Amino acid sequence: MKLILEVLLMGLAVMLGAFLVPGVSVDGYGSAIIAAVLIAVANATIGLILRIFTFPLNFLTLGLVSFIISVLMILLVDSWMTGFNTSGFLSAAILAIAVAVIKMILDAAFGVQKS
């Protein structure tokens, strides 16, 4: 049940982020859910491998490389999907920040606790 709620809230966060960030568009809530799942899968697989290889640089930049990898995963999902579009690196970076903030607010509002 918690996994379904997490997926739905992440889809809502992507949808709201796309509404707020100029240069990002999502065709509908279904596309937002698919984009959220694909971003999570990309971060869990390709992003994890990149974070392992760039750990020393990530340590020196205090986590900035992890943020850049997350933005690159959003751009990768943009290239995979037709219903989710970003206009470039800057809009994907702003979307990553917006989705993180919106997801934090939604988790607090719906009482989702990390265990």
- pLDDT tens-digit profile of 73-87? 999 999 999 999 999
Q: Which of 32, 75, 85 is nearest to 50 (CA)?
A: 75
For the segment 37-59, the average pLDDT, to the nearest whole number, is: 95
Nearest one of 67, 18, 84, 70 to 40, comparing CA atoms: 70
Amino acid letter at 105?
I
The span from the CA of 86 to the CA of 113, in Å, is 30
pLDDT at position 112 over 90: no
For residue 43, what are the CA distances in angstroms to 5, 40, 48, 72, 73? Answer: 19, 5, 6, 9, 6
